[in-house]
């Protein structure tokens, strides 16, 4: 491989680096070809990103981004406005985690659960910007927000099921939602952090930015939900899922449903396989297989995204 090729595929070449730094498994072109061949298998990417610092850096800069585009091309095209070198708040690894990981639920000031629910990987999720419009007040309707369908968790025979959802804003730093939060001087939460990037969050309940259309969209009752938005534009929240009556199922006659007009725009992202452990920014999370066996949370000390394949 000549010097011109090295410059083309290595954005920041080091004049003192050895030629082997851009060969074999560290060659970005080879890595892209390999992952395209195996259709961006999440298990393999997790292993690759955890092998050493160089591969972790390549994954954070390039591979997680390509995974996101491969699994949800329409959603990512909308989030990046088609820019080839666009960036997302919190990094591509945080967005990849948001796409494939249900963050679980803990009690907050406005939403109480009997016991914390651990996070877990999901095999398939549907993200919809039509659903996202239901989360925006009329003053913030110009924003673009994708929100997943709730991940349903049984809460006992006589109790409402628990729904956990997540989402992502496009260009949150320039959004009307952020501008409104800043203008109203809404304080960031002291005890809650974003489960995807570790950043501080605003409570939309505290900010009084929860429109009535959210409850109908999620299938819950007024006051039966809470969600947060972090400074990087990641959304996560919980709600109580109640059975809908026939009248509610028909949509009712409320004028607040105008956010659901038009064709539903959505995209499904899927992951097939089993991943055992996920640690991020000194946070504590648990994986699905471990929690199903009654295991406790998995402590992590890495200031990076690290995924390990669980072997039974």
Q: Is residue 48 part of a domain?
A: yes
pLDDT in tens, 30-79: 899 999 999 888 888 989 998 889 999 999 989 999 999 999 999 999 99
Tens digits of residue pLDDT in 81-111: 888 788 899 999 999 999 999 999 999 989 9
Residue range of the domain that includes 134: 102-241
Q: Which pLDDT does position 302 carry in this prediction? A: 30
Give tens-digit pLDDT for 142-193. 999 999 999 999 876 667 889 999 999 999 999 999 999 999 999 999 999 9
Kindly report whether the global pTM for this prediction surpasses the value 0.85: no
In a domain, 8, yes or no: no
pLDDT for the residue numbered 266: 64
- The long-range contacts involving 279-285, CB below 8 angstroms and separated by at least 24 positions, are 279/305, 279/306, 280/93, 280/94, 280/97, 280/196, 280/197, 280/198, 280/304, 280/305, 280/306, 281/197, 281/198, 282/198, 283/193, 283/195, 283/198, 285/101, 285/103, 285/104, 285/118, 285/119, 285/195
Residues 160, 60, single domain; the answer is no
Same domain for 237 and 107, yes or no, is: yes
pLDDT band at 269 (very low <50, low <70, confident <90, very high): low
Is residue 290 included in any domain, yes or no? no
How many distinct structural domains can be found in the chain? 2
User: Domain boundary at 220, 241, 262, which?
Assistant: 241
pLDDT value of position 16:
43
Residues 64 and 164 in one domain: no
Same domain, 58 and 126: no
* Residue 307 φ/ψ region, left for φ over 0, alpha for ψ in the -120 to 50 degree band, beta for the rest: beta
C-alpha distances out from residue 112 to 117, 156, 238, 280, Å: 12, 15, 10, 25
Residue 280 falls inside a structural domain: no
* Triad 239, 154, 125: Cα angle to 5°: 65
């Amino acid at each position: 491989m000549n010097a011109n090729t090295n410059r083309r595929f290595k954005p920041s070449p080091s004049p003192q680096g050895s030629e082997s730094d851009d060969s074999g498994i560290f060659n970005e072109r080879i890595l892209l070809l390999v992952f395209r061949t195996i259709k961006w298998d999440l298990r393999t990417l997790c292993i690759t990103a955890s092998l050493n610092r160089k591969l972790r850096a390549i994954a954070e800069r390039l591979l997680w981004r390509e995974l996101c585009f491969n699994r949800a091309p329409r959603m990512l095209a909308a989030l990046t406005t088609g820019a080839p070198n666009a960036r997302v708040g919190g990094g591509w690894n945080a967005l990849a985690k948001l796409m494939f990981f249900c963050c679980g639920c803990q009690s907050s000031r406005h939403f109480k659960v009997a016991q914390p629910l651990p996070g877990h990987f999901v095999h398939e999720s549907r993200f919809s910007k039509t659903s996202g419009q239901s989360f925006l007040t009329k003053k913030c309707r110009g924003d673009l927000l994708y929100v997943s369908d709730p991940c349903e968790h049984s809460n006992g025979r006589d109790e409402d099921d628990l729904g956990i959802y997540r989402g992502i804003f496009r260009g949150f730093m320039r959004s009307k939602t952020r501008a409104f939060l800043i203008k109203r001087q809404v304080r960031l939460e002291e005890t809650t952090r974003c489960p995807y990037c570790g950043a501080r969050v605003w409570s939309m309940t505290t900010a009084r930015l929860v429109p009535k259309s959210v409850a109908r969209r999620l299938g819950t009752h007024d006051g039966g939900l809470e969600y947060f938005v972090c400074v990087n534009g990641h959304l996560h929240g919980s709600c109580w899922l109640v059975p809908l009556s026939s009248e509610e199922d028909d949509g009712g006659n409320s004028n607040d449903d105008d956010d659901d007009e038009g064709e539903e725009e959505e995209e499904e992202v899927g992951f097939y396989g089993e991943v055992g452990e996920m640690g991020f920014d000194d946070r504590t999370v648990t994986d699905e297989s471990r929690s199903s066996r009654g295991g406790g949370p998995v402590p992590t000390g890495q200031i990076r995204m690290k995924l390990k394949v669980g072997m039974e």
